[in-house]
Structure 1
Amino acid sequence: MQGQYMMEKTGFVEVQHKNFWSPTVADLHQAEKASWEHLHTEYHRHAPPGTCQRYYQQHRVRVALQNIVVERRIDAGPLTRHRLTAGDLFISPAGSQEWLRRYEYEDFFTINLEPALLTRLAEASGRASAFELLRQKQAIQDPLLLQISHTLRAESKVAGPGFSSIYVQELSHAFAAHLLRHYGRWEEYDYSTHTSLSTSRLRRIIDYIHSNLAQPLTLTELAALVAMNPYHFTRIFKRTTGVSPHQYILSQRIEQARRLLLKGELSQTQIANQLGFYDQSHFSRTFKRVIGLTPQAYCQEHVKNIQD
């Protein structure tokens, strides 16, 4: 199922996405939210001072975007004072309760993961539901989670649901697997017996992608073509082809765009719509990032090469 995409800005917020929110002072802040399948992101800027209590139904990872001092209690544990620096992360597992006090403006980017995603990854390891995210009392520094968080924040701002869905699925799976591997209790899955896709299965996937470049493509539907779960599919597809599903789909869209541009029969807006880009601007930015030239500059360069 394709995830919904949403951006929201509010002045007063008392109920956060799928979480219980009980402020003890007026809580003036700005909020931006985006949602995909199994993953939701939020940016919040809270006004000081304030205290709040939350009960989490999702696994929640918050990234501090500035240096800040907060006091925090998880479940019935001790109250702890934290001096955070930009890039520090808090992990709060689903089912935990948090009490928080802030003393100054608070900038956080938050990633909420549906428990179903982590359960599915645990099941893929061969140990159904055999995992538990550890309650991290202290802030952590994790370069990979931080990098993925920044990528997700950028993606929530610039891309629409259809184009970014499969990319965000890959990011969410990498994010969740890293959480389980480094901050949970589970056992690694042995991939040695599932090393690659057969020629027939790979051809089935490739043909489907080429026939649906204009449509939103998700890992779930691609994995279903070969009776795999999305996490296994992503790893085995990359092992077979050398690139991730998102990278392959993007390369095919750009290659088709190059052919259509040189034919000169369609406008850039028509090409963007035909190949599943969010709009003409998104198409132009992506084309330049991959090719190194804007679509217009690419066409001019081609004409110049012919004349020479």
Structure 2
Amino acid sequence: MGLQVMPSENPLVLDQEDKVLQIFPRPPILTSFQAGWDGVVMGYMCQPPYEVPEMFSPRWHSIAIFTHGNYAIHANRKLDGRFHRDAVVGGDIVIVPANVSTQVSWEAEGDFILIALEKSTFASAVDENSEEVVIIPQFATPDPLVFQIGLALQKILASDQKNRLYAETMANTLSVHLLQYYSARKPTLREYAGGLSKRKLQQVVDYINDDLDRDLGLAELAAVVQMSPHYFCHLFKKSTGLTPHQYVIRCRVERAKALILEGKLAIADIAYKVGFANQSHLNRHFKRLLGVTPKQLLQK
């Protein structure tokens, strides 16, 4: 007999990041709490059989992404007043919109990723009003794209690299996907034939080059040209052939190359100066883009 979901008269209100830690018996393996990501919070954890209390969040839409493999873990779930017994396998997701209560118990140990998207950031991905967006709750359902986004975010958290722009780009892709496939009213995504105007592209390029040493964010770059993150990414790639994250990495490598050839700074110092998390982070991207390591460049 599995754990049974018990009703609660006073649901737990998840309005602060650290409250998530109070729900589960074990601490998370990874979290983004210290990563500085804007509008998205992520945790990766492995939990034993357990029952969490009834809860809801006024701030976040949450997505659970199950990564335990192809075997089923049975869970008794209450979601938006409906009860369901899920047989959850790896690759399944559960969507709990903001202000929707949920409660769950599960019968075997398993690992999963939790992603929480801030309501306002989520809606602004495609210039939607956050109060008009209605996300439909989902019991366990497979979604390969959301699964891959979760794994990508888990990987960059584990790598301990400066990764805010990449993480926020992934979160934006996730937001647009959820709006397209799990909302009551599908957003109208405009199509553009061209890219950014020369003036706007130059504004963004100048901003990036002036702040290469910082962990730049997607919404921050989109705000330079007063666009939603989704349209900014679309037009920027049309103009440059690269995503904003790829472009920033390329700029950092080119700046590092110039500083290495000047010969005034140690390679480790150059890595930090151009915005890489460490020298190995610089070495990896340097070799990938230029075909040689920084030391090999000096030996030429």
Decide whether aligned partners of structure 1 residues 76 and 235 sit closer, same or farther in structure 2, where only a CA change above 3 A counts.
same
Q: Report the equivalent of 1:131.
A: 133
User: Which runs of structure 2 are paired with 1:13-92 in the superposition (5 Å)?
Assistant: 17=17, 28-31=25-28, 32-35=30-33, 36-57=37-58, 58-66=60-68, 67=71, 68-78=73-83, 80-92=84-96
What CA distance in whole angstroms lies between the structure 1 residues aligned with 2:210 and 2:254? 14
- 5+ residue gaps, structure 1: 1-14, 304-308
Between the aligned partners of 2:53 and 2:110, the Cα distance in structure 1 is 13
Checking the alignment, whether the CA contact within 8 Å between 1:55 and 1:98 is kept in structure 2 is yes
Aligned to 2:280: 281
- 1:128–1:62 distance in 2 versus 1, CA, 3 Å: closer
Whether the 8 Å contact between 1:59 and 1:112 is mirrored in structure 2 is: yes
Q: For residues 240-279 of structure 1, what are the structure 2 equivalents within 5 Å?
A: 240-279=239-278
Between 1:83-92 and 1:280-289, the stretch displaced more is 280-289
CA–CA distance in structure 1, aligned partners of residues 289 and 75 of structure 2: 42
The answer to whether the 8 Å contact 1:28/1:46 transfers is yes
SS of the equivalent of 1:30 reads coil
Displacement of 1:193 in angstroms is: 6.1
What is residue 173 of structure 2 aligned with on the other side? Answer: 174
Shift of 1:264: 3.1
Give deviations 1:255-300, integer Å, cap 9, x for gaps: 2222333343321111111101112232223334444543334444
1:20 and 1:204 mapped to 2: Cα distance?
39
Q: Which residue of 1 aligns with 2:98?
A: 94
Q: Which runs of 5+ in 2 are unaligned?
A: 1-13
Q: CA deviation at 1:49?
A: 4.3
CA distance in 1, matches of 2:49, 2:192: 55
Partner SS state of residue 216, structure 1: coil
Alpha-carbon separation, structure 2, partners of 1:299 and 1:247:
25
* Identical counterparts, % of pairs: 28
1:183 aligns with 2:182: yes
Is the 1:21–1:55 contact (alpha carbons within 8 Å) kept by the matching residues of 2?
no
- Asked if the contact 2:39–2:122 (Cα under 8 Å) also holds between the matched residues in 1, the reply is no
Give the structure-2-normalised TM-score. Answer: 0.82
1:45 CA drift (Å): 1.8
User: CA separation in 2, counterparts of 1:293 and 1:88?
Assistant: 41
Could you say what secondary structure the match of 2:32 adopts? Answer: strand
Tell me: CA distance 1:106–1:53, structure 2 relative to 1, closer, same or farther (3 Å): farther
The answer to which of 38-47 and 189-198 deviates more is 189-198
- Counterpart CA distance in 2 for 1:287 and 1:99 is 47
Q: Which residue of 1 aligns with 2:197?
A: 198
Which amino acid in structure 2 is aligned with residue 247 of structure 1? Q
